[in-house]
């Protein structure tokens, strides 16, 4: 339909409503507590690093929710978490059920889970960031979604 109108086709990414970094429902109204596709790698890292992720606990575990609903769906069922030999060596996970068992069993440190989630989210966002790196597109985003006074993105 869009091609007939001379426009490029578009894709939309739909996910269930996930908890925000703060533990409440994720909301675009507070940029400190949601992940934006145009966030810098540093912003993604900071947001996920401070999210709740307790050893052995899945309830409210943002990193697990992102892996479950996004990373496995987009990148496929195989996930390799690189760890030093002192920390048990690399861990290959085949699917969300296995990740859940490993977390509940306590054999995956939250920092290791957060590291792979940060890496995969940034890997997904990088082409989008590059697409919106031009001045024209940056101005379009700024006009469409102005920063609220006192908040920086």
Question: How many structural domains is the chain composed of?
Answer: 1
52, 53, 58, 64: CA torsion to nearest 10: 100
Domain residues for the domain of 69 are: 33-144
What confidence tens digit (pLDDT) does each residue in 21-47 have? 766 655 566 667 778 888 999 999 999
- Structure pTM? 0.79
In a domain, 43, yes or no: yes
Residue-wise pLDDT tens for the chain (153 aa)?
667 778 777 776 666 776 667 666 555 666 677 788 889 999 999 999 999 889 999 998 999 999 999 999 999 999 999 999 998 899 999 999 999 999 999 999 999 999 999 999 999 999 999 988 887 887 887 888 777 654 454
Q: Write the CATH number for 108.
A: 1.10.240.10
């Amino acid at each position: 339909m869009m091609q007939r109108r001379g426009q490029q086709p578009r894709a939309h990414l739909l996910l269930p409503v996930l908890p925000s970094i703060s533990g409440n429902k994720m909301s675009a109204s507070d940029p400190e507590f949601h992940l934006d596709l145009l966030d810098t790698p540093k912003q993604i890292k900071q947001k996920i690093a401070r999210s709740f992720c307790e050893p052995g606990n899945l309830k409210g575990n943002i990193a697990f929710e992102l892996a479950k609903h996004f990373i496995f769906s987009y990148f496929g069922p195989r996930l390799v978490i690189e760890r030093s030999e002192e920390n048990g060596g690399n861990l290959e996970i085949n699917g969300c059920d296995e990740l859940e068992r490993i977390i509940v069993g306590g054999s995956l440190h939250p920092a290791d889970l957060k590291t792979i989630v940060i890496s995969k989210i940034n890997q997904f966002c990088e082409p989008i960031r590059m697409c919106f790196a031009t001045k024209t597109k940056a101005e379009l985003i700024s006009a469409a979604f102005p920063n609220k006074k006192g908040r920086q993105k």
